[in-house]
């Protein structure tokens, strides 16, 4: 692998950084925006989940524009949307304005979750594709950590801190916007528009140790098949089964409760009796753990495979989610055992589902339906993310946080059977080989 390949991977993965930053930064603003906009529990759920409406739309509709305009132009557009959203939401004086700009940012997040891993998987050599595609997840968790950390620093340094927390996203968004202009085009997209010379040149620049002509021929064959199948519905055989698997991958990812922790961690710790400063610092600990074990997963994914990580992670998450539920229901407040249980959950999530989901969704579908399939899997992820984020303040107020986490525990246990039964290993295979195997 050469510097040009690393550069393109890193820049595309900045979409993941902003994904993570945008997801986590809202957690530090919840109490302030509730007071500033005078929100009840239902409205607070909307404030937190508004971006997820945009995520659903961005994830679902990202595939076709990416096929028409190319991955590079779409990533440039997403960087601009991130920037506008950060400025607009941070400066908003009315709740409806705040919601509109958060939805706009959500569109960029949802589309990034599809397009950045797709772009990386299309430029990466097969033997290193898992590691490179996971750079999206690595930058995502770095974004989460920096959002938590900047929230902690800003809360102690500024008046109207919630505005500065949201405005701080404009800095990485501007960097992404500038660097995205220097990206290569996806060789697969170049072949699709019949620009074969540039496609071959791009492959030679990004993967000089690979046979460019062989790669181009494989892409041509898969695109010919794709054109022959373009009018075939993905909701019918032979693709329906794979589409449903992708849908459930997205669903089970969210039914672990991961984004309840990312969005509401300070609120959860406050409800357990911790102070404001302590609650924000504990989110930094969670973010740091998330980053460390994502790096570990990056080192493992191309060695032990995607399926092994999913299964071991689901077992570990079930244990620590159950422990958190027990501690909370027993009223063990002000106890760092609560933090320990959430950190244990994050260890297993970051080294399994957190690391694997975007790689898997970018790989698991045949080339003929990859864009649509990845969009549907990501769409499922964001729909359940939205429903959980919207309903958590209301449901937890009715039945209690401990019982909500029991539901997460049960769904994570169920996912163990699903991953064992339906997920096929994709490590070390070309996208074309994966497409052929998926038909069996």
pLDDT in the model for residue 435? 60
- What value, to the nearest 5°, has the Cα angle with vertex 428 and ends 299 and 63? 95
Top-confidence range, 80-89, 121-130, 131-140: 80-89
The stretch 323-349 carries a mean pLDDT of 86
CATH code of the domain occupying 3-184+229-437: 1.20.1250.20
Measured between alpha carbons, how far is 125 from 51 in angstroms, rounded to an integer?
34
List C-alpha distances in Å: 127 to 31, 121, 130, 132: 46, 11, 8, 10
Measured between alpha carbons, how far is 412 from 428 in angstroms, rounded to an integer?
27
Instruction: Name the pLDDT band for 432 (thresholds 50, 70, 90).
Output: low
Instruction: Name the pLDDT band for 438 (thresholds 50, 70, 90).
Output: low
pLDDT in the model for residue 431? 64
Q: Is pLDDT of 424 > 80?
A: yes
pLDDT in the model for residue 430? 67
pLDDT-wise least confident of 210-219, 358-367, 399-408: 358-367
User: Mean pLDDT across the chain, nearest whole number?
Assistant: 86
Which pLDDT tens digit goes with each residue over 51-74?
A: 888 888 888 788 788 888 999 999
Instruction: Name the pLDDT band for 376 (thresholds 50, 70, 90).
Output: confident
| Cis peptide bond prior to 167, omega within 30° of 0 | no
Share of the chain above pLDDT 90, in %: 40
pLDDT-wise least confident of 170-179, 204-213, 241-250, 386-395: 204-213
Contact, 115 vs 186, CB < 8 A? no
Q: Is pLDDT of 368 > 50?
A: yes
The stretch 219-240 carries a mean pLDDT of 74
Contact, 114 vs 75, CB < 8 A? no
What phi and psi values does residue 233 have, to the nearest 5 degrees? -70, 135
pLDDT in the model for residue 434? 63
Measured between alpha carbons, how far is 387 from 390 in angstroms, rounded to an integer?
5
Which pLDDT tens digit goes with each residue over 260-279?
A: 888 887 778 777 777 667 77
pLDDT in the model for residue 292? 92
Which pLDDT tens digit goes with each residue over 194-226?
A: 899 999 999 888 888 778 888 888 888 877 776
Q: Is pLDDT of 134 > 90?
A: no
Which pLDDT tens digit goes with each residue over 295-335?
A: 898 888 888 888 999 999 999 999 999 999 998 888 776 66
Find all residues with CB under 8 Å of 288, minimum gap 6, and list them.
145
pLDDT in the model for residue 334? 61
pLDDT in the model for residue 440? 43
The neighbour count for residue 406, using CB atoms within 10 Å, is 18
Write the DSSP symbol of residue 94: S
pLDDT in the model for residue 421? 92
Measured between alpha carbons, how far is 17 from 163 in angstroms, rounded to an integer?
20
The neighbour count for residue 86, using CB atoms within 10 Å, is 27
Instruction: Name the pLDDT band for 83 (thresholds 50, 70, 90).
Output: very high
3-state class of 257 per DSSP?
A: coil
């Amino acid at each position: 692998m050469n510097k040009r390949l690393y550069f393109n991977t890193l820049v595309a993965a900045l979409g993941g950084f902003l994904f993570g930053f945008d997801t986590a930064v809202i957690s530090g603003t919840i109490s302030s925006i509730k007071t500033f906009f005078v929100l009840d529990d239902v409205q607070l759920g909307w404030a937190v989940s508004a971006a997820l409406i945009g995520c659903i739309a961005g994830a679902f509709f990202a595939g076709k524009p990416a096929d028409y305009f190319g991955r590079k132009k779409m990533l440039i557009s997403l960087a601009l949307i991130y920037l506008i959203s950060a400025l607009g939401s941070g400066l908003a004086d009315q709740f409806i304005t705040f919601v509109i700009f958060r939805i706009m940012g959500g569109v960029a997040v949802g589309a990034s979750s599809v397009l950045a891993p797709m772009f990386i998987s299309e430029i990466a050599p097969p033997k290193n594709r898992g590691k490179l595609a996971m750079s999206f997840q690595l930058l995502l968790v770095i974004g989460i950590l920096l959002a938590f950390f900047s929230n902690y620093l800003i809360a102690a340094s500024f008046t109207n801190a919630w505005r500065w927390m949201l405005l701080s996203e404009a800095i990485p968004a501007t960097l992404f916007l500038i660097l995205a202009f220097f990206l290569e085009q996806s060789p697969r997209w170049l072949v699709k528009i019949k620009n074969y010379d540039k496609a071959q040149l791009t492959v030679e620049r990004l993967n000089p140790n690979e046979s460019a002509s062989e790669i181009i021929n494989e892409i041509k064959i898969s695109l010919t098949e794709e054109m022959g199948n373009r009018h075939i519905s993905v909701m019918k055989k032979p693709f329906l089964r794979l589409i449903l698997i992708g849908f459930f991958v997205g669903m089970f990812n969210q039914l672990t409760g991961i984004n309840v922790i990312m969005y509401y961690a300070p609120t959860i710790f406050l409800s357990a009796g911790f102070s404001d400063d302590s609650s924000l610092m504990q989110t930094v600990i969670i973010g740091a753990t998330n980053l460390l074990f994502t790096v570990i997963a990056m080192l493992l994914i191309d060695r032990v495979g995607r399926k092994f990580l999913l299964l071991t992670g689901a077992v570990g998450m079930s244990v620590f989610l159950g422990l958190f539920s027990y501690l909370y229901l027993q009223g063990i407040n002000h106890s760092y055992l609560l933090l320990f249980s959430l950190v244990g959950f994050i260890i297993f999530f970051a080294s399994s589902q957190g690391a694997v989901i975007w790689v898997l969704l970018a790989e698991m579908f045949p080339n003929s339906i990859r864009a649509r399939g990845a969009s549907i899997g990501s769409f499922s992820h964001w729909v359940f993310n939205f429903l959980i984020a919207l309903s958590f303040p209301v449901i937890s107020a009715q039945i209690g946080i401990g019982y909500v986490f029991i539901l997460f525990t049960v769904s994570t246990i169920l996912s163990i059977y699903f991953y064992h039964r339906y997920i096929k290993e994709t490590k070390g295979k070309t996208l074309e080989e994966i497409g052929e195997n998926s038909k069996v």
